Amino acid sequence: MFKVHNFSAGPGILPADVLKQASNACVNFENLNLSLLEISHRSKNYENVMDEARSIIKDLFEVGEDYEVIYLGGGASLQFAMVPYNLLSENGTAAYLNTGVWSTKAIKEAKIIGNTNVIASSEDKNFNYIPKDYSIPSDADYLHITSNNTIFGTQIKKFPKSPIPLVCDMSSDIFSRSINANDFTLIYAGAQKNMGPAGCTMVMVKKEALGKTGRKMLSMLDYQVHIKGGSMYNTPPVFPIYVTLLTLKWLKQNGGISWIEKINQQKSNVLYNEIDRNSLFHGTTSTDDRSQMNVCFLLNKPELEVEFDKLWKDANISGIKGHRDVGGYRASLYNALPIESVNVLVEVMKYFENKFT
């Protein structure tokens, strides 16, 4: 099978070894002569998967027993509602930083739950930068931020020192770089970028932050219920959690976050250097806020779009068309994408420049 260079923004590329292991598990899981897709989630074999999938998160993030990890369905979009439902008190206020489409949606859901204050936004420039000069209200219940913005190609490089609980949607850059996870009260992420396939969402939360809203909680939206049930209060998304575990084990076995951070930096440097050098392209975001995960760029001569599209498709490149809110191109450099794929894209860009200038 020929190599396709997969720059899809999500669901994103997965390691080849993980796909092979997952395929085998679909036929015969742990020599049970049963498929992973048909065994009980209450079986000891799957309980072991769930336990390891939860513990490896804490291991990679280097956090202690004051945190709990749960896996849920509904994507990160469900967390837009569950976060304020579990952390925003009935008479309190939540603070939000608005840096793109996903934070805008999170803010919309929070406003339904309770008082919500947008303390800073980059919407005035189509979210092409990260706001930096803002004050965090010390009396708010929490501050919600989005670490990386897939659509607009921006990323928070330095997290705020928050006097209130810090909540972060890390869906598109989780485990791509070193952070101090202990600075956060809650981190959540849809799996389908760096962690696994679509279908499950990871939430890591400090236990002390829960049970303080003053409202009567619906069971399926209550973090404490899912913690008590070991992420199996109801039938969990069995296969996505298993593939997520395999992906995180792949990361850990190869050297962990410090290992992949260096590779991710190399990949983004190679591509951004070519965008800045090449006379036919330019980036879309503030240089200081450029995402290492989602590289957005435009043609300086839009009339050549058909010609460029033909070149990258002929090179077996997939998934670099930009989002409609930005246009142009977007190359997603998630953990499993090899630097060889970035080099192929760069060579196409160089050839394109030589041919049309």
Give the position of tokens 């929490």: 142
C-alpha–C-alpha distance, residues 53 and 273, integer Å: 37
Query: Residue 287 contacts by C-beta under 8 Å, 6 or more apart in sequence?
Result: none
Q: Which residues pair with 94 in a beta bridge?
A: 116, 142
Cβ proximity of 191 and 197 under 8 Å:
yes
| Complete DSSP assignment for 126-175 | TT-S---S----TTSSEEEEESEETTTTEE-SS----SS-EEEE-TTTTT
**Which amino acid is it at 282?**
H
| Contact by Cβ (8 Å): 141, 89 | yes
Partners of 283 in the β-ladder: 297
Structural contact between residues 293 and 148, judged by C-beta atoms closer than 8 angstroms: yes
Any idea of the CA torsion for 259, 264, 265, 271, to the nearest 10 degrees? 150
Q: How many CB atoms lie within 10 A of CB 179?
A: 20
Catalytic center residues: 102, 169, 193
The DSSP line for 212-274 is: -S-SPPPGGG-HHHHHHTTT-SS---HHHHHHHHHHHHHHHHHTHHHHHHHHHHHHHHHHHHH
Residues in the chain, how many?
357
- Reduced to 3 states, what is the DSSP secondary structure of residue 324? coil
Is the four-CA dihedral 225, 166, 88, 105 of positive or negative sign? negative
CA pseudo-torsion sign 125, 127, 133, 134: positive
